[in-house]
A and B are shown apart, each in its own frame.
Chain A
Amino acid sequence: MGFYEVTLQLLEGFKTTCILFALTLAAALPLGLLFSMGSMSKFKPLKWLMKTFVWIIRGTPLMLQVIIVFYGPGLVHVGDLTLREFLVLHGGMAFDRFQSVLFAFIINYAVYFSEIYRGGIESIPVGQYEAGQVLGMTRSQTFFRVVLLQVIKRILPPMSNEILTLVKDTSLARVITVLELVKAAEQMTAQYGLIWPLFYIGAFYLVFCGLLTILFNLLEKKLSYFRG
């Protein structure tokens, strides 16, 4: 195994890593907003349901969540059938390995994002909404034209953090043998006794996160024209 062959194989794993990252982000960003609305809801049952959900998701390891989503349906019984068999029989919905990881990741990250959104939205002084109201603006005009950009500016640093964590969390997919970047490197260690690919993939993550950091810094700079 030369450098070139190793790189090719690692790129296969890296592709999975990137897809998992991108799909999780694309789904969890809007889903998180929905969740945050739930936990800020004036309808108490929904609020408490959401709070409990947030507590469970944030209070258990993502790795455990991945395992449960993948193995759970095969272990729980519905009558004589397992849940997985039941699901396949009635409409063919059973997650494969990658889908299980993706599902667990989307839910987990949406919950973390929702808490960041909530913090951002609640940190905007009530005076901003009141100013909008006395100027005859509707609630949605006040939110979209006045509050939203201030929220984005405030949540950018914690969101950057969370998104960088997501890059590295993708490696948890290996726990149910999804062939992402770390798993790909491990295979080379197991099959050919090569250690250096493990260091090599470190560089993949560093570059990936480095590029994201540059992007976030650009965004922060773009929003630095105002304060508040």
Chain B
Amino acid sequence: MDGKEMHPILQVEGLGKSFGKVEVLRDISFTLNKGRVLSVIGSSGSGKTTLLRCITSLEKANKGKIIIGGETVFDAENPVKDSARERRRKQLKTGLVFQSFNLFPQYTALQNVTLAARLAAKESEAYKKDRKAAIEEIRARGLQILSDVGLSDKADFYPWQLSGGQQQRVSIARALCMKPEILFFDEPTSALDPELTGEILRVIKQLASTHMTMVIVTHEMTFAKDVSDEIIFMNKGVIEEQGDPQIVFENPKSARLREFLNKFTD
């Protein structure tokens, strides 16, 4: 065990979620340590995206607890009414990259990346003291992140002027600009042409090398095996199998996982 394993950054305990009578998540529990990459796999309808949306507060779970960095951000037993400021602070512990990018069409790549940071900065002390410097600082950070994802020359382009892969890289940069503790990806390459998925996977790999904690819902099995430290296989709303990628992919215990993986080797 190396030192990092001692620091759980995400703890999910007994999470459950129903839409009406349909139980989408049942008693989901797992722990993720800081700096690790977790991939969540499973067929459509297995609840992986709902899990992601519950942890990132886009959906409200019905049962269970979510602890991020030692702080309980959600507890179905003890619901708290947070102020807008508290909600934002908790929300920003996580970042999310959507399947369909969801870039803001009327803003350039750089504006997309910096908009939320600029709005948040308005409440800070530094902003009240020196507005120009605060905005310039955010702009510089945005440009740096865009160049990190290989888009320094596209800063002033609007989303429609970019390819799908470039748009998704902007949306990764946009999430990174808010400095999340954990970055979530919801099938980040599913909306892309096959030849464009490589550039996204490269960016995620590069982030993994900087020890960014990430949770990736994906259908790219080869990539999941390659980049992840841990795998969770979900089936019908429960975690069917989880563990080291080598073991999960080479020696699956569950018959359903074997069946699932077979579909990808054809």
Using a CB–CB cutoff of 8 Å, the interface residues on chain A facing chain B are 125, 127-128, 130-138, 141, 145-146, 149-150, 153, 225-228
How near does chain A come to B194, taking the closest CB pair, in angstroms?
A: 23
| A149–B171 CA distance with the chains assembled, in angstroms | 20
> Which residues of the partner chain B approach A141 to less than 8 Å between Cβ atoms?
119
Known: A136-B92, A146-B104, A149-B106. A130 touches B98 (CB 8 A): yes
Using a CB–CB cutoff of 8 Å, the interface residues on chain B facing chain A are 56-58, 84, 88, 91-92, 94-96, 98, 100, 102-107, 115-116, 119-120, 158-160, 171, 174-175, 178
User: Could you name 23 residue pairs across A and B whose Cβ atoms are closer than 8 Å?
Assistant: A125-B100, A125-B102, A127-B98, A130-B58, A130-B98, A131-B98, A131-B104, A134-B56, A134-B175, A135-B174, A135-B175, A135-B178, A136-B120, A136-B178, A137-B115, A145-B119, A146-B104, A150-B105, A150-B106, A153-B106, A225-B106, A226-B107, A226-B158
> Which residues of the partner chain B approach A146 to less than 8 Å between Cβ atoms?
104, 115
| A133–B92 CA distance with the chains assembled, in angstroms | 9
How near does chain B come to A56, taking the closest CB pair, in angstroms?
A: 34
8 Å CB contact of A226 from B57, B160, B174: B160
Name 15 extra pairs, CB < 8 A, besides A127-B102, A146-B115.
A130-B98, A131-B98, A131-B102, A133-B91, A134-B95, A135-B174, A135-B175, A135-B178, A136-B92, A138-B84, A141-B119, A150-B106, A226-B106, A226-B160, A227-B159
> Which residues of the partner chain A approach B91 to less than 8 Å between Cβ atoms?
133-134, 136
| A136–B115 CA distance with the chains assembled, in angstroms | 11
Residue in chain B with minimal CB distance to A153: B106
A138 touches B88 (CB 8 A): yes
> Which residues of the partner chain B approach A132 to less than 8 Å between Cβ atoms?
116
A130 touches B102 (CB 8 A): yes
> Which residues of the partner chain B approach A153 to less than 8 Å between Cβ atoms?
106
Residue in chain B with minimal CB distance to A148: B106
B105 touches A227 (CB 8 A): yes
> Which residues of the partner chain B approach A228 to less than 8 Å between Cβ atoms?
105-106, 159-160
> Which residues of the partner chain B approach A133 to less than 8 Å between Cβ atoms?
57-58, 91
| A141–B88 CA distance with the chains assembled, in angstroms | 12
Q: Top 10 closest A-B pairs, CB basis? A: A228-B105, A135-B116, A127-B102, A131-B102, A227-B160, A136-B88, A226-B106, A134-B96, A136-B92, A226-B105
Known: A127-B98, A226-B158. A134 touches B115 (CB 8 A): no
| A226–B100 CA distance with the chains assembled, in angstroms | 18
How near does chain A come to B68, taking the closest CB pair, in angstroms?
A: 14
Residue in chain A with minimal CB distance to B93: A136
A128 touches B104 (CB 8 A): yes
> Which residues of the partner chain A approach B116 to less than 8 Å between Cβ atoms?
132, 135-137
Residue in chain A with minimal CB distance to B58: A130
Residue in chain B with minimal CB distance to A128: B102
| A228–B92 CA distance with the chains assembled, in angstroms | 27
How near does chain A come to B156, taking the closest CB pair, in angstroms?
A: 12
| A135–B171 CA distance with the chains assembled, in angstroms | 11
> Which residues of the partner chain B approach A125 to less than 8 Å between Cβ atoms?
100, 102
How near does chain B come to A121, taking the closest CB pair, in angstroms?
A: 16
How near does chain A come to B30, taking the closest CB pair, in angstroms?
A: 21
| A146–B107 CA distance with the chains assembled, in angstroms | 9
> Which residues of the partner chain B approach A149 to less than 8 Å between Cβ atoms?
106
How near does chain A come to B125, taking the closest CB pair, in angstroms?
A: 18
| A225–B107 CA distance with the chains assembled, in angstroms | 10
8 Å CB contact of B94 from A127, A134, A138, A226: A134
> Which residues of the partner chain A approach B106 to less than 8 Å between Cβ atoms?
149-150, 153, 225-226, 228
> Which residues of the partner chain B approach A138 to less than 8 Å between Cβ atoms?
84, 88
Known: A226-B160, A227-B160. A137 touches B119 (CB 8 A): yes
| A227–B88 CA distance with the chains assembled, in angstroms | 29
| A2–B224 CA distance with the chains assembled, in angstroms | 87
How near does chain A come to B185, taking the closest CB pair, in angstroms?
A: 12
> Which residues of the partner chain B approach A127 to less than 8 Å between Cβ atoms?
98, 100, 102
Q: B94, B102, B103, B159 — which one has the most chain A CB atoms within 10 A of its CB? A: B102
| A137–B118 CA distance with the chains assembled, in angstroms | 10
How near does chain A come to B58, taking the closest CB pair, in angstroms?
A: 6
> Which residues of the partner chain B approach A134 to less than 8 Å between Cβ atoms?
56-58, 91, 94-96, 175
